A and B are shown apart, each in its own frame.
Chain A
Amino acid sequence: MRAFVVLLKKEFLQIRRNSFLPRLIVAFPILVMLIMPLIMTMDVRNVNVVVVDQDLSTISRRIVSHIEASDYFTLIGVTSEFERAMGYLEKGLADVIVQIPDDFERYVANSMAAKISITANAVDATKGSMGMQYLIQTITHTISEVQEELGSTMLSDLVTIQNRFNPTLDYRHYMIPALMIMLFILICGFLPALSIVGEKESGTIEQINVTPVSRLTFILSKLIPYWLIGLFVLTVAMGIARLVYGLSPEGSIGAIYLSAVLFILTISGFSLTVANFSETMQQTMFVMFFFIMVFMLMSGLFTPIDSMPQWAQRFTLVLPPRYFVEILRAVYLKGATPVELWGSYVALGIFAVLFNSLAAVTYKKQI
């Protein structure tokens, strides 16, 4: 017990003495939480639109003026030839072409099928598809207006839409839990590995290995500081989410901390396991880098897991952050309870036990 206390104290002293770590631990979460939500937005703005107006009617002019008035679009020009519009698109001056065909007004007036064609540059897929969705919405709106004026039923009147859990459709609310997870992955993923490999490279680990300190004591003394740092980071991040973005968790704080503890245990244990298998710091870092990239891009942080191909979806089942993403978003935004999310909690728990035992087993005092 005494050995454990002094080792723990030593870890904290070393972290404090490091010229870089304390600054990183404090500044990194604050910067990430303050800056990233400004960047992470899926609201497409400034989509450049060219309209090919072959109808030259009241309704087509109305569509053009609605596009011009919208915040989402910048009207680059109106032309009557598709080729000219295509020229704009190829030069990168326009992102989307809207083509209103001849006789469009007559068709609409008679409730007949008419086609507006929309051509988007999908080189940037996000922008292309989002721009297209917004255009369809804008134009549909214009057309229903006209139809209502003509006296027919608007289909959009027949349906009510309720946006549960995030009525303002604020994308930030969706991304803030993701940012917290990203912080955990980076801080609790990289740092413990670095600290143990650092001892390997400087030879101090050998001095520890000839002492009667048990493997578990040593590993725990390495891990606990990072668990506490992780919880500190979570608290700071939640504070910022509340003060700056007015987002407080719908669910219980306890449920959040419980999942966070399980996740921090998992990721730091994982990190130590990788360090135990590596010979040099360079190797550890490259391998950790690899897993961190996989964790960040495949756990549903930025892109939905549901849209992945089947095999990839199955693969995500072995990625611990996947469960944490599910839990944190559900608890934070939807107020879900651990009972409702028991599967994910259990999965995280299993990973936590697994990786920490692996870390303790693979740490060899003797070769």
Chain B
Amino acid sequence: MQNNFLSFVKKESLHILRDSRTMLIVMLIPVVLMVLFGFAISTEVNNIKVAVVAPNRTDAIRKAVTQLAQNDYFSFYGYISNDQVDKKLRSGEVNAVVLFVPDYERRMVDVGSGVSGSPVIQLILDASNVNTAGAASGYLQSILWGPVSQQTLFETRMLFNPQMKSAFNFVPGIMGLIFILVCAMMTSVSIVREKEMGTMEVLLVSPVRPFKIIMAKMIPYFAISCIVLLLILFLAHYLLGVPMSGGVWGILSLSMLYLVLSLSLGLLVSTIAQTQVAALLISAMVMMMPILMLSGMLFPIENLPKFFQVVSTLIPARWYIDAVRKMMIQGVPIAEVWSNCAILFGMTVLLLGVSFKKFNDKLE
């Protein structure tokens, strides 16, 4: 029987290897996405485009504008006139406008001499983008008042990710998202395809037990996923500079568990879907949404309404991303994320169990 099993694994591997185009696509996609997103995506707000309205361009205003232009958070759009404000904001050419009152200089002298002042600056923000508006108002005020107040009230530190490089934050999230989707797509499609073409029946009448047929299908895909995993970790470390201080072996073993889980999820999809189209729609489209939204990749779990926090506990990617973040960035060893590992393990066992049961039920 063992021999039989091996010949099945060989058959599946040949299938995959022969279709070199598909294999190349499967291996390239996660890697390219990883690198692209790792470098490009950032939730941090910078390059806020600011225009200035200043009827009299006095020295004080010029100085403030220079400081603005030199700041990394802003790019200075230029001086505009009062009636252009609305148009520039609406077309998105600028994100914020700073309006100085005409007698700005004189009024600031009053402020300096303790005469309580009325507003001298107006900030008009494009609040259609809430994040940019919030950041712009904060940063602009700190720059504009910097020279006046001579107070630095805050000293801030971001631990574990000091430069706030988003790559750090996004690598675990992207790994969590890509692995589960790609693996689920691969397995579900390859099984449903055999169902559609009728070759599954041929396999099922053979003396090999269904359990082994399924395992034989999953092993080559698991191997491919492992190669992709290694590539991604390598790139994350050497190209993006992710520290992985919690131990590579821990990250590797947890990720491999996650791969098995994702493949099992694909298996489950294949027992539900009758056609390749349905399998693909379920595993690429329907599953993408909750994973993108509820895994903590883009939106912190704590911010979710209570109900969705509960729902999010059902999403494997949430546990995986959380654990990998801790291990990769914070440097926590795998022992300290044992609860995440246990949950993922439990989910894997459950998924495998349910899909084998469903698979067998179909046969009878």
Contact = CB atoms under 8 A, between A and B. Distances in A.
A–B contact with Cβ pairs below 8 Å: the answer is yes
Contact of B168 (A41, A125, A290): A125
B49 to A, nearest CB: 7
Contacts of B111: 153, 158
12 contacts: A24-B285, A114-B153, A119-B157, A125-B168, A137-B138, A158-B111, A161-B123, A165-B89, A166-B127, A280-B19, A294-B33, A307-B47
B159 A39 contact: no
Interface string B125-143: 1111111111101100100
Contact of A45 (B119, B130, B145, B302): B302
B13 interface: no
Contact of A282 (B189, B294, B299): B189
Contact of A340 (B87, B117, B137, B190): B87
Interface in B155-174: 155-162, 164, 166, 168-169
A40 B119 contact: no
Interface size class of chain A, counting residues whose CB lies under 8 Å from the partner chain = 35 or more
Most buried by B among A136, A143, A174, A307: A307
Contacts of A111: 151
B66 interface: no
A156 B329 CA distance: 38
A266 to B, nearest CB: 19
B277 interface: yes
A115 B152 contact: yes
B42 A24 contact: no
Interface of A: 19-20, 24, 28, 32, 35-36, 38-47, 89, 92, 111-129, 132-133, 136-137, 139-140, 143, 152-153, 155-167, 169-171, 173-174, 186, 190, 194, 198, 201, 279-283, 285-287, 289-290, 292-294, 296-298, 302-304, 306-309, 312, 315, 326, 329-330, 333-336, 340-341
A324 to B, nearest CB: 13
Contacts, number: 316
B128 A333 contact: yes
Contacts of B280: 190, 194, 281, 285
A8 to B, nearest CB: 20
Contacts of B44: 125, 129, 307
Centre residue among A111, A133, A140, A304 by max chain B CB count within 10 A: A304
Q: Contact residue range for chain B?
A: 35 or more
A348 B305 CA distance: 37
A278 B296 CA distance: 34
A16 B25 CA distance: 32
A167 B128 CA distance: 9
A117 B156 CA distance: 6
Chain B interface SS verdict (over half): helix
A282 B22 contact: yes
Contact of A159 (B49, B123, B152, B193): B123
Interface string B19-48: 101100110010011001101111111111
Given A117-B155, A162-B122, A294-B36, A303 B284 contact: no
B25 A140 contact: no
Contact of B46 (A156, A169, A306, A340): A306
B126 A164 contact: yes
Contact of B45 (A186, A298, A307, A341): A307
A43 B293 CA distance: 15
The 7 closest A-B pairs by CB, nearest first: A312-B40, A163-B127, A333-B128, A122-B158, A122-B161, A166-B127, A125-B169
B37 A340 contact: no
A250 B226 CA distance: 50
A307 B149 CA distance: 29
A118 B155 contact: yes
B119 A160 contact: yes
A164 B122 CA distance: 12
Given A136-B154, A286-B185, A190 B285 contact: yes
Interface string B272-303: 00101110110011101100111010111011
Contacts of A186: 285, 288
Contact of A115 (B39, B41, B153): B153
Given A164-B126, A174-B128, A334-B126, A127 B302 contact: yes
A266 B308 CA distance: 34
B1 interface: no
B281 A20 contact: yes
Contacts of B153: 113-116, 139-140, 143
Contacts of B22: 280, 282-283, 286
Nearest to B285: A186
Interface in B187-244: 189-190, 193
B92 interface: yes
B159 A304 contact: no
Q: Most chain-A Cβ atoms within 10 A of its Cβ — which of B116, B122, B149?
A: B116
Nearest to B101: A158
Contact of B164 (A129, A159, A285, A290): A129
B128 A329 contact: yes
B155 A287 contact: no
Contact of A308 (B40, B160, B303): B40
Given A125-B166, A340-B87, A341-B91, A159 B26 contact: no
Contact of A89 (B95, B135, B154, B159): B159
A124 B119 contact: no
Contacts of A167: 127
Given A111-B151, A341-B91, A160 B299 contact: no
A213 to B, nearest CB: 23
B185 A306 contact: no
Nearest to B152: A113
A159 to B, nearest CB: 5
Contacts of B278: 19-20
